[in-house]
Amino acid sequence: MLPVLLAGFGLGLSLIVAIGAQNLFVLRQGIRREHLFAVVAVCAVSDAVLILLGVSGVGLVLEAIPWLLDVVRWAGAAFLTVYGVLAARRAVRPNGQTLHATPETAASGSQTTDAGGTLVRTRPTRLATTVLTCLALTWLNPHVYLDTVFLLGSVATTHGDGRWVFAAGACAASLLWFTGLGFGARFLGRWLDTPRAWRILDAAIALVMFAIALSLVLPH
């Protein structure tokens, strides 16, 4: 069963490791060290649920009601556009702030430096807001249904009785990736301790969000 487990791990990892809305959100939260356990848990558990749904054959049911994916596609595009606008606003805001991510500031708020170089403290984002944003970025992305539910589920069925072992490998890949991405992001803090660096990061996030939203609504 080890080859089946590794096959699931490999395919699961290949589908997750890509620049996308969810990964960028995890990366940003990791650099900020804000509600990171919750974000990683939401992403990993959501992926596990989607993988198990795909392996159980739910993908075939969803394929019979294509309008449902259209609803998710347009809702996802709208959400990504709003999120992109917020990121763009942070990027161009004249008094933009940047995070000095340190363990001492993660719990009580983030120490930031304004455009004039004055050290200030910002209020952390509410846990509920962070979790809801993470859920939306995960579940309002139609690609996650095409890749995780349909594709991964279809490949899993080729392994017959070993499909659940295949699913376990894919779930392990998801957990490993999001944990590594989130908790490894803190090492990027040293390069993102200036207002300009965070503006560039937010600008990149905005561009990716707009590009993904556009790809969802354009005809294929």
**Cut 0.85: pTM above it:** no
Q: Taking a C-beta distance cutoff of 8 angstroms, is the pair 97, 218 a contact? A: no
Count CB-CB contacts under 10 A for residue 177: 21
- Segment 120-161, tens digit of pLDDT: 445 667 899 999 999 999 998 887 887 788 878 878 877 888
Range of the domain at 91: 2-217
Q: Taking a C-beta distance cutoff of 8 angstroms, is the pair 98, 195 a contact? A: yes
Instruction: Quote the number of domains for the chain.
Output: 1
